[in-house]
Amino acid sequence: MDYEYLDFLYQKYKGTALYNLLIEYDNKFNTVFPVNLIDQISTEDLTNAINSNKELTLQTDGNIY
């Protein structure tokens, strides 16, 4: 994982449930969750994605599924 990305997450989200979920998501799917979408995703959606092993994607309608 990109250290600049990890530093960004640490600085902005450290201590939040979202921080831990983003790290878990990124490790599970071997990807980096798009920074511009972080504020649009809920902890519930991230938890569901991790538990169902389904990577989230931004759809053309602007929603994340």
pLDDT digits (tens, 9 = 90+) for 8-27: 999 999 999 999 999 999 99
CB 37 within 8 A of CB 64: yes
Residue 64's pLDDT is 83
pLDDT > 90? residue 63: no
Residue 14's pLDDT is 94
* Closest C-alpha among 41, 31, 32 to residue 62: 41
